[in-house]
RNA sequence: GCCAAUGUAGCUCAGCGGUAGAGCAGCCGAUUCGUAAUCGGCAGGUCGUCAGUUCAAAUCUGACCAUUGGCUCCA
C-alpha cells in the first residue's frame, strides 16, 4: 500500500503500517520528533494504522494542533496522578473510579468517583504527581480488546462507569485502550478512543489544574455526582501566562464587580436571591434601553400594552405553563380557595388582549409590546448576578400573524436583532435554531409531534430564505415551539442566551384565538414571541461587560463631571451643569474640598465619559476644558460647542466619537 | 436542585481560642490648588444567622442563609 505526503510525494509502505512507520520511513530525525499525525485532515496518533491512499502529515511540536493530543494525554496523566495520590493515603485502587476525561477549550478535565471529597490542597499535590509522571517519560501503548474481554476487564474491577461506556459503544466498534507505562499494572491504563502523544515526556510543563467541581455522570441530574478536575495546558509558558492574564482581565470586566463599583445594582440578602435592586445609575441605564426599544418599536408598527403581575391559575392552565413550566414558576398563593400565580411570561396576557375584540385579517400582523416584569423560580445554583435572575423585565412583544405573513415577520424580528447588535457593536454571537427532542413530547414540550416538525421546517425555510447563518440544536426549544436564540459569551466565558425569537403554534389554539380572513372564515393566527433586547437585567449585565463599564455617552448614567479648580469657580461650574441639564444631559458638579487632581481621578475611576475642568480661564471665556474616555482632551472649548457636541452623540447613540471641531 | 469553596466596617483585606484592626470610601476641619490620590481629625462592625463545645468563640463543631466555581436548567 502507499500513502501521500503533504508535498504530494508517494510513499510505499507495508500493510498495517502506523503513523510511526510513516515517520520512520521519511527519516530518523522526524521519527524522533513526531508526536502525532494528520490523516486526511483528521488528528490521529502515531500508533494508529494509516489508510492506504490517504494523505498523511507528520506532526511535531511545531504544529499547533498537537496541543490537542497533549491535552488529551494530560487528562490521562491527571487520572493516574489522582489514583496514585489516593492509593498513597490508603485507598484501594478499585475505589478510585474514572468517568470520562476529554479535552476542552484551553485544556482538559477528568471526572472521578472517589472515596472522599478532594480539596484545593489535593489539587496542588496531584499537580506535583502529574509533573513526576511527565518526568518519568512513560511510553503510551495502544491495544484493543474484543467487547467481551473489555467488559470483563472492568466488571472484575467493579467499575460501573467504564462498563457502561463500553456497553453503549455500537457493535463492531473497535474498543481501544491506552496504557502509559511499559507494562500492565504499572502506570495507568484507560479505555480511550485516543489520540495521544507517544510518551508522557513530550508533554509541556505549561499546564495547571484550575478548578474542582461537581458534575453529574453523563450530564444527567438523576445520576451520581462525580468530582471533576479542570486543567489548562499550552505549548509555551507565554501562552499559559497569557491565558491566565486573560482570565484575570475578564474578572475585572465582570458585571458583578463593575456593577458594584459603578453603583449600578445590588443584591440584598433580605430581599432574596436573584432579585436585584436597581440603584439610580442602573435605573437610568434600564430606562435608556426602554427608550431605545420604544423608538424602534414605534417605527416597526408595535403597540404597547400593559398587564398585571398576577393571574388566576386558569390562565396558566390554558396557556400550558402549568403543566409544562411549573418548575420555573413561583408557587401559587391561595386566596379563598383560588390559586394565583405570579407571571413567568407575558404571553398569556397578550393572548387575552388579542381576544378582547374580534380580529380581522386586516388587523394582522398585530404586534403587542410590553416591558413587563416577570418572575421565574430559577434554580438557586443557576443564579448569576444580572445574567440569571428571578425577577426580570422582558423586552417582550408578541406578533400575531397569518401563515402567509410569518416569514416576513420572522425575518423582520431577526432584522431587529441585527439593528440592535450593530448599535452596540456586538459582533461575536451565534444564532441557535433551538428545536424540540421527540423524547420530550408530553413532558417538556406539548405533545404535537407533527406540528413541531412542520413549524420547525417553516422556521428553517425562513432562515434560509433570509440568508441567516445559524446552527441547529435539539432539545432547546420552548415548550410551545421552536426558537432562534442568540448565544453570546459573558466576560468570564460562560455562554448564555441574549436575544430570542420564538414561534408559538400552541397557545393561539389553546386560547381559541382567531381572526376572520378575506373569505369570512375563522382562522387561528400564528404567534411570534420575541425579546431582541433580552431582559433588561441581562442586557445591562451584558453591556457592562461588553463596554467594560466605559459606556457610550447615551447610556452612561453620568455623562459629564464638572470639576471646579477652586471654590470660587463653583458658581460657574453650576452654571455649566445647568446648561447641560437644560438640554437633557446628565451632569454633576464635584463640589468637595479635594484637590482638582483627586477629583479628576475619582471621576476617571467612576468612568464618567466627560470630565469638564473649569477655572479662571474657562469662567472668563465661558468655555470648558475637558478630558474624555473616547476622544482627545481639549482646552478652552466654547460651552455651546461642547453642549452640542454631546447632544449630537446622544441623539445618534454614537459609539465612535468624531472629535469636536 | 446537586458537588465544593467562601462569608470580619460601604469596598479590599489582616486577625484564626482570651472578648476587633488597616487602607480606601464617608463625615468634620485646614488647604483653594490647572488634568489620576494635600494634610489632620472623627465616626463606622451583635465578625452571615441560629444552635452547640469551652471558664472563654470572629477563631472549634453542626444546621440554616447568601455568594462564588462547576453540573443540571435557562431570557
Per DSSP, helices labelled H in A262-309 are 280-299
Provide the positions of strand B that have an atom within 7 A of a protein CB.
1-5, 11-12, 25-27, 29-38, 65-75
CA of A340 to C1' of B62 (A): 38
Q: Assign residue A490 the CATH number of its domain.
A: 3.30.930.10
Is the minimum distance from the CB of A607 to strand B below 7 Å?
no
Neighbours of A273 (CB within 10 A): 13
Q: Assign residue A607 the CATH number of its domain.
A: 3.40.50.800
For residue A51, the model assigns a pLDDT of 85
Instruction: Indicate whether A660 belongs to any domain.
Output: no
Is the minimum distance from the CB of A385 to strand B below 7 Å?
yes
Instruction: Indicate whether A466 belongs to any domain.
Output: yes
CA of A384 to C1' of B62 (A): 28
Per DSSP, helices labelled H in A209-276 are 237-253, 255-261
Nucleic chain B: which protein residues 158-187 of A have CB below 7 A from it? none
> Is residue A514 classed exposed, middle or buried when 0-12, 13-18 and 19+ CB atoms within 10 A define those classes?
middle
ipTM score assigned to the predicted complex: 0.94
Cell numbers 416576513: residue: A408
Instruction: Indicate whether A257 belongs to any domain.
Output: no
Kindly state whether residues A165 and A217 are assigned to the same domain. Answer: yes
Cis peptide before A365 (omega within 30 of 0): yes
For residue A208, the model assigns a pLDDT of 93
CA of A258 to C1' of B20 (A): 30
DSSP summary character for residue A176? E
Of A44, A59, A74, the residue that ends a domain is A59
Cell numbers 369570512: residue: A520
Nucleic chain B: which protein residues 120-149 of A have CB below 7 A from it? 120
CA of A495 to C1' of B74 (A): 11
For residue A184, the model assigns a pLDDT of 65
Kindly state whether residues A493 and A575 are assigned to the same domain. Answer: no
Per DSSP, helices labelled H in A89-216 are 120-135, 147-157, 160-168
| Phi, psi (deg, nearest 5) at residue A58 | -90, 130
For residue A185, the model assigns a pLDDT of 66
For residue A346, the model assigns a pLDDT of 96
Instruction: Look up the domain containing A17 and give its range.
Output: 2-59
Segment holding A2, helix H or strand E: strand A2-4
Closest CA to A309 of A221, A370, A384, A229: A370
Is the minimum distance from the CB of A216 to strand B below 7 Å?
yes
Give me the residues of chain A with pLDDT under 50, please: none
For residue A1, the model assigns a pLDDT of 83
CA of A383 to C1' of B51 (A): 29
Kindly state whether residues A94 and A238 are assigned to the same domain. Answer: yes
Per DSSP, helices labelled H in A158-275 are 160-168, 237-253, 255-261
Instruction: Indicate whether A299 belongs to any domain.
Output: yes
The number of folded domains in chain A is 4
Is the minimum distance from the CB of A270 to strand B below 7 Å?
no
Q: Assign residue A49 the CATH number of its domain.
A: 3.10.20.30
Closest CA to A305 of A375, A377, A355, A376: A355
- Tens digit of each residue's pLDDT (9 = 90 or more) over A170-218: 888 889 999 998 776 678 999 998 899 999 999 999 999 999 999 999 9
Instruction: Indicate whether A260 belongs to any domain.
Output: no
Instruction: For residues A411 and A468, give the distance between their C-alpha atoms in angstroms, rounded to a whole number.
Output: 9
Angle A547-A553-A556 from CA coordinates, rounded to 5°: 65
- Residue A627 gets the label, from left (phi > 0), alpha (psi -120 to 50) or beta, of beta
Is the minimum distance from the CB of A384 to strand B below 7 Å?
yes
Kindly state whether residues A349 and A465 are assigned to the same domain. Answer: yes
- Tens digit of each residue's pLDDT (9 = 90 or more) over A280-305: 999 999 999 999 999 999 999 999 99
Kindly state whether residues A435 and A532 are assigned to the same domain. Answer: yes
Kindly state whether residues A103 and A80 are assigned to the same domain. Answer: yes
Instruction: Indicate whether A255 belongs to any domain.
Output: no
Is the minimum distance from the CB of A291 to strand B below 7 Å?
no
Residue nearest to nucleotide B37 (CA to C1'): A598
Is the minimum distance from the CB of A500 to strand B below 7 Å?
yes
Of A21, A42, A59, the residue that ends a domain is A59
- Determine the nucleotide nearest to A485 by Cα–C1' distance: B75
Closest CA to A482 of A457, A456, A510, A444: A456
Instruction: For residues A369 and A350, give the distance between their C-alpha atoms in angstroms, rounded to a whole number.
Output: 9
Instruction: Indicate whether A644 belongs to any domain.
Output: yes
Buried b (16+ CB within 10 A) or exposed e, A570-579: eebbbbbbeb
Kindly state whether residues A188 and A104 are assigned to the same domain. Answer: yes
Cα dihedral: A294, A295, A300, A306 (round 10): 20
Is the minimum distance from the CB of A347 to strand B below 7 Å?
no
Of A493, A514, A547, the residue that ends a domain is A547
Kindly state whether residues A96 and A236 are assigned to the same domain. Answer: yes
Amino acid at each position: 500500500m502507499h500513502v501521500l505526503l503533504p508535498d504530494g510525494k508517494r510513499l510505499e509502505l507495508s500493510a498495517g503500517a502506523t503513523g510511526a512507520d510513516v515517520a520512520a520511513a521519511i527519516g530518523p530525525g522526524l521519527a524522533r520528533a513526531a508526536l502525532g499525525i494528520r490523516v486526511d485532515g483528521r488528528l490521529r496518533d502515531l500508533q494508529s494504522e494509516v489508510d492506504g491512499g490517504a494523505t498523511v502529515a507528520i506532526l511535531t511540536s511545531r504544529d499547533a494542533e498537537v496541543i490537542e493530543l497533549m491535552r488529551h494525554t494530560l487528562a490521562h496523566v491527571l487520572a493516574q496522578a489522582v489514583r496514585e495520590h489516593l492509593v498513597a493515603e490508603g485507598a484501594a485502587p478499585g475505589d478510585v473510579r474514572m468517568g470520562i476525561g476529554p479535552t476542552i477549550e484551553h485544556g482538559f478535565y477528568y471526572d472521578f468517583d472517589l472515596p472522599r471529597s478532594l480539596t484545593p490542597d489535593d489539587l496542588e499535590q496531584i499537580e506535583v504527581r502529574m509533573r513526576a509522571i511527565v518526568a518519568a517519560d512513560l511510553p503510551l501503548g495502544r491495544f484493543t480488546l474484543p467487547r467481551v474481554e473489555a467488559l470483563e476487564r472492568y466488571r472484575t474491577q467493579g467499575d460501573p462507569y467504564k462498563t457502561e461506556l463500553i456497553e453503549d459503544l455500537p457493535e463492531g466498534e473497535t474498543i481501544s485502550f491506552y496504557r502509559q507505562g511499559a507494562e500492565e499494572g504499572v502506570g495507568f491504563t484507560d479505555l480511550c478512543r485516543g489520540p495521544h502523544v507517544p510518551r508522557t515526556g513530550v508533554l509541556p510543563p505549561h499546564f495547571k489544574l484550575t478548578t474542582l467541581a461537581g458534575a453529574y455522570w453523563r450530564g444527567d441530574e438523576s445520576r451520581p455526582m462525580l468530582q471533576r478536575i479542570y486543567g489548562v495546558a499550552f505549548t509555551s509558558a507565554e501562552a499559559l501566562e497569557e491565558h491566565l492574564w486573560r482570565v484575570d482581565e475578564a474578572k475585572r470586566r465582570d458585571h458583578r464587580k463593575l456593577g458594584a463599583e459603578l453603583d449600578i445594582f445590588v443584591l440584598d440578602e433580605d430581599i432574596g436571591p436573584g432579585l436585584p435592586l436597581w440603584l439610580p445609575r442602573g435605573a437610568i441605564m434600564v430606562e435608556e434601553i426602554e427608550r431605545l426599544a420604544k423608538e424602534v418599536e414605534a417605527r416597526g408598527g408595535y403597540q404597547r400594552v400593559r398587564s398585571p403581575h398576577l393571574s388566576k391559575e386558569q390562565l396558566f392552565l390554558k396557556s400550558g405553563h402549568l403543566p409544562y413550566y411549573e418548575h420555573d414558576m413561583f408557587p401559587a398563593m391561595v386566596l379563598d380557595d383560588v390559586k394565583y400565580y405570579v407571571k413567568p411570561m407575558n404571553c398569556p396576557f397578550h393572548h387575552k388582549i388579542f381576544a378582547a375584540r374580534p380580529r380581522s385579517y386586516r388587523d394582522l400582523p398585530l404586534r403587542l409590546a410590553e416591558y413587563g416584569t416577570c418572575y421565574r423560580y430559577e434554580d438557586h445554583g443557576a443564579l448569576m448576578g444580572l445574567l440569571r435572575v428571578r425577577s426580570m423585565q422582558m423586552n417582550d412583544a408578541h406578533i400575531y400573524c397569518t401563515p402567509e405573513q410569518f416569514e416576513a415577520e420572522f425575518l423582520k424580528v431577526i432584522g431587529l436583532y441585527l439593528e440592535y447588535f450593530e448599535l452596540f457593536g456586538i459582533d461575536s454571537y451565534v444564532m441557535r435554531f433551538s428545536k424540540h427532542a421527540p423524547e420530550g413530547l408530553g413532558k417538556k414540550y406539548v405533545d404535537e409531534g407533527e406540528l413541531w416538525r412542520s413549524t420547525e421546517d417553516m422556521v428553517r425555510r425562513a432562515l434560509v430564505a433570509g440568508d441567516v447563518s445559524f446552527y441547529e440544536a435539539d432539545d432547546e426549544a420552548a415548550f410551545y415551539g421552536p426558537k432562534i436564540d442568540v448565544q453570546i459569551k459573558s466576560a468570564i466565558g460562560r455562554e448564555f442566551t441574549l436575544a430570542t425569537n420564538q414561534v408559538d403554534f400552541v397557545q393561539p389554539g389553546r386560547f381559541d384565538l382567531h381572526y376572520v380572513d378575506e373569505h369570512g372564515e375563522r382562522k387561528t393566527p400564528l404567534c411570534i414571541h420575541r425579546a431582541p433586547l433580552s431582559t433588561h437585567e441581562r442586557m445591562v449585565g451584558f453591556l457592562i461587560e461588553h463596554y467594560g463599564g466605559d459606556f457610550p455617552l447615551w447610556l452612561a448614567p453620568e455623562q459629564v463631571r464638572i470639576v471646579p479648580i477652586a471654590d470660587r469657580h463653583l458658581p460657574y461650574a453650576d452654571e455649566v451643569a445647568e446648561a447641560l441639564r437644560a438640554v437633557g444631559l446628565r451632569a454633576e458638579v464635584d463640589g468637595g474640598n479635594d484637590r482638582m487632581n483627586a477629583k479628576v481621578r475619582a471621576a476617571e475611576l467612576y468612568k464618567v465619559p466627560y470630565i469638564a475642568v473649569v477655572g479662571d480661564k474657562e469662567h472668563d471665556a465661558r468655555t470648558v476644558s475637558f478630558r474624555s474616555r473616547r476622544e482627545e482632551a481639549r482646552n478652552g472649548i466654547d460651552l455651546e460647542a461642547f453642549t452640542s457636541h454631546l447632544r449630537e452623540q446622544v441623539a445618534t447613540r454614537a459609539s465612535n466619537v468624531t472629535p469636536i471641531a
